[in-house]
Structure formats: C-alpha cells, structure tokens
Chain A
C-alpha cells in the first residue's frame, strides 16, 4: 500500500501529473473574486472565509477525475483489483495521495491568499486548522465520486453533480469555523463537528469507493 502511495505521488509530481495545477487554480480563483465583487476591502473581508473555502473545494473537485481515470485507461486498476492489497486499501491510498497532492498545498497556500483577500487577523489559525481538518473529507468524498464515475466517458460534469451535494456539510462547518474566527469568536464547535465529518468520511467512504470500483471493474 505504501508502494502504491509512492507510485501515485511520483506520478503526480513528475511531468504531466498536474501536481501544481489545483494550487494554481486556487490562486486564480482568489484573484478573480475581487474583479467580480469589487476591490473594497470591507466587502472582501466579509466574504474572504467563504471564498477561500469555496476555492479550496473547487480546486479539489477539478482534480478528482485524475484519481482513477489514468489507471482505468491503462489497465492498472485491473491489476490493483487482482493484487493481494484489498481494494478498500487502494481507495484509501488514492484518497491520501489526492490529499497530499492537492489538499495539503491548499492548506499551506491559503494564508497567503487570505492576505490578498484581507482576511481579518484572528481568522488565520482557524483557516489553516479548518482546511487541514476538512480537506481530507473532501478527498475521501471525491474519491468515492471518482470511483462511481470511473467507467463513464466524459464523466467530469456528472462527477461534479454527484460530489457537490455531498460536500455541503463539510463546506458549512469549515466556512463557519473561519467566519467565527474572523469575528473574533471561539470556533471550536464547528471545528469539532468538521473533524467528526472527516473521521466519519475516512471510516466509511473507502468501503463505498471500493464497492463502486468492484462494480465498475466487473
């Protein structure tokens, strides 16, 4: 399983893997927002938490179809399914490698973009904490969605339609934690609920993703 993780990471980092793409998307998204709503710092300050969370979510979403698509096309997925590694483990490792290549850079880049959007100072720790706790859930849910749609040609739009409603609770609690932090309040409660969703998603969804993969590989 560790070998699989290493392989996925190497494939992502090397040429054509699209490692920095979601990060660049996040940057462009945050840059475009002031063009859309105007440069008033007051406005930007109020919407910054939501914008940053939405940007992270969309950046995650756009990289989802890469999780299984290439392995499906060249037959690696069939080999993985017949390998001694349980398919649940494969799904979990895929989610983990997706998180390392997209979620983690987003967490690290978010404070800089918060600066651009004039995020209030007390919100920064909550922003980093909520993204660090929430993006694993995004990756796990996304892996499930990617497993559902792996056999479908041009399934990208369908994937978004399936995955975005599932992202609702994560987004609510994640953005709420940052909003409360920006208002100088204590944001522990939404953060704990967010962590609960992440843990639940990590516990359940690899099994659901593996079930979907088995159906698709039949």
Chain B
C-alpha cells in the first residue's frame, strides 16, 4: 500500500473500480431494498403523521446525499486544481448530475410530504429554498462543463466555479435563515444528538441512508469510468486523424 494517489492513475483506477463496482452495486441494492422495505412495511405509523412519515426513508437520505455530492465535487475539484489528477476532475463531472437528481428527489418527496402535512406543495422556507438554490448551482456547474470545448480548461473553470459556488452556497444558506422563518422541522439526524429518533425508525433509516450512499458511490464510479473511456476514445480518434 504505497499511497492513495496511486489510484489517480487512470489505468489503476479502471482496474480497481472494475473490481469493486459489482460489490458496491450489490451493497447499494441490498441496503436500499432492505431499508426501504423495512421502513415502508415493517415500521409503525407515526401517531400524528400517519403513514406519510414513511417518505422519510427516501427524503432524508437523498437530501443528505445531495449536499454530500456537492461536497465531494468540492474535494475532487480541489484535488484537480492542486495535484492535476484527471480522474479527480472527471469524478467531479460525473458526480454533478447524480447530485442534481438527488436534489430533485429531495425537493419532490418534500413536496409530496408537505402537501398532506403542511397543506402546501411549496413554501418559501429556508431549507426548501436553499435546496432550490443548490439545484441551480448544479445546473450552472453542468452547463459550464458542456459549454467549454477544451476538456482541461473546462475542468479548471468548473473547479473554480465549484470553489466560489461553495462559499456562496453556504452564505446563501444562512442568509435564507435570516430572510424567512422556517416551516421545516429541524435536522432529523445529527451526530451530536443522544438519540435522534426512536430506534424502530432509526435502523431502517440508517440502512436506507447507507443504500443511498452506496448507490451514489456506484453511480459516480460507473460514470467516471464512462468519462475515462470517452476521453480515451477521443484521443484515439484524434490519433487516427493525425495518422
């Protein structure tokens, strides 16, 4: 085990990711099916919210992964800017659409949950609004990737945008708290709480969360492999033309 950076070599990355990808897919499937089936069918209804509470097993994990996906893009962008590993830049590119879809899922399930509970599909609540803004950040990031032709320049520009965007996303989050009172409840899960929710809900939720995490990992690995292959193909075509 020499160093973590060994896996930044595309060839090495392809070998390792090909080896672990089936396992990650398998874990994702087991945790997702297990957690969701457990949550949907084998937990009691909430005494106030009835069975609508069960959407939590999709809503909370996807919301957590939506934020973490951006955080992962921030880290990989930094690695690209500092160490110039192409795999890192491609991983950031691969993670963006996945994170965007998680953001959409969180917004959609939130709307479906909010309708019976709050009596409204949408409310200009800080949490909801900041997710909408996060969605816009994902859109801008992906649009910039598409717009720049030179792949290295695109990676550089999107990385810079990701850094600046992260700062402004955090500022927006707290500006929104200042702007409007929230309807949304507090955080469901936090690391420093003694007990977050009753154990009957907690175990399936954690399982579903792990499932979403593995699903994200699998999708990002898969998409990164696709990007690497696309890059190789482009290089081959360019070589053909030269010859």
Chain A positions within 8 Å of B, measured between CB atoms, are 144, 148-149, 151-152, 155, 158, 161-162, 164-166, 168-169, 172-173, 176, 190, 193, 197, 204-205, 208, 211-212, 215-216, 218
Task: Report if A158-B137 is in contact (Cβ < 8 Å); known contacts: A190-B178, A208-B163.
Answer: no
B111 CB–A CB distance under 8 Å: no
Which residue of A has the minimal Cβ distance to B167?
Answer: A204
Alpha-carbon separation in the docked complex, A193 to B165 (Å)? 19
By CB atoms of chain A within 10 A, which of B139, B175, B179 has the most?
B175
Which residue of the partner chain, among A164, A176, A197, A212, contacts B157 with CB atoms under 8 Å? A212
- Cβ of B172 and Cβ of A151 under 8 Å apart? no
Which one of B144, B167, B172 contacts A148 once the chains associate, using CB atoms below 8 Å? B144
**Chain B 147-182 interface residues, beta-carbon cutoff 8 Å to A:** 147-148, 153, 156-157, 160-161, 163-165, 167-169, 171-172, 175-176, 178-179
Q: Is the CB of A149 within 8 A of B164?
A: no
Which of B140, B156, B163 has the most C-beta atoms of chain A within 10 angstroms of its own C-beta? B140
How would you classify the secondary structure of chain B's contact residues: helix, strand, loop or mixed? helix
Is B144 a contact partner of A162 (Cβ separation < 8 A)?
yes
4 A-B pairs closest in CB distance: A169-B175, A215-B156, A165-B136, A162-B140
Partner of A215, one of B140, B157, B171, B176: B157
Using a Cβ cutoff of 8 Å, how many contacts connect chains A and B? Answer: 74
B65 to chain A, nearest CB (A): 20
Q: Least Cβ distance of B166 to chain A in Å? A: 11
User: Which residues in A have their C-beta under 8 angstroms from that of B168?
Assistant: 165-166, 168-169
A–B complex contacts, Cβ < 8 Å, 8 sampled: A148-B157, A149-B144, A161-B139, A161-B143, A165-B172, A169-B168, A197-B171, A208-B163
Complex contacts, A204 vs chain B, CB 8 Å: 164, 167
Cross-interface CB contact of B172 among A168, A176, A193, cutoff 8 Å: A168
Q: How far is the CB of A134 from chain B (nearest CB, A)?
A: 12
Given the contacts A169-B168, A169-B171, A197-B171, A149 and B147 also touching, CB distance less than 8 Å: yes
CA distance A173 to B172 in the complex (A): 10
Task: Give the docked Cα–Cα distance between A151 and B154 (Å).
Answer: 11
Check B175 against A218 for contact (C-beta < 8 Å): no
Q: Which residues of A contact B136 (CB under 8 A)?
A: 161, 164-165
Binding site for A on B (CB under 8 A): 133, 136-137, 139-140, 143-144, 147-148, 153, 156-157, 160-161, 163-165, 167-169, 171-172, 175-176, 178-179
The listed residue with most B CB atoms (<10 A of its CB), out of A162, A211, A216, A218, is A162
A174 to chain B minimum Cβ distance, whole angstroms, is 11
CA distance A205 to B161 in the complex (A): 11
Having A148-B161, A161-B140, A173-B175, one finds 19 other A-B pairs with CB under 8 Å, namely: A144-B164, A148-B144, A149-B144, A149-B147, A158-B140, A158-B147, A161-B139, A162-B140, A162-B143, A164-B136, A168-B133, A168-B172, A169-B172, A169-B175, A172-B176, A176-B178, A193-B175, A204-B167, A216-B153
CA distance A190 to B180 in the complex (A): 13
Instruction: Give complex CA distance A106, B151 in Å.
Output: 39
Query: When chains A and B are docked, how far (Å) is the Cα of A205 from the Cα of B167?
Result: 11
In the complex, which residue of chain B has the Cβ closest to the Cβ of A166?
B168
Q: Are A215 and B153 in contact (CB under 8 A)?
A: yes
Chain B residues near A164 (CB-CB < 8 A)? 136
Q: Do B164 and A166 touch (CB < 8 A)? A: yes
From B133, B143, B165, give the contact of A158 (CB < 8 A): B143
The chain B residue sitting closest to A164, CB to CB, is B136
Please pick, from A166, A169, A172, the residue contacting B165 in the complex, using a CB distance under 8 A.
A166
- CB-CB under 8 A from B140, the residues of chain A are 158, 161-162, 165
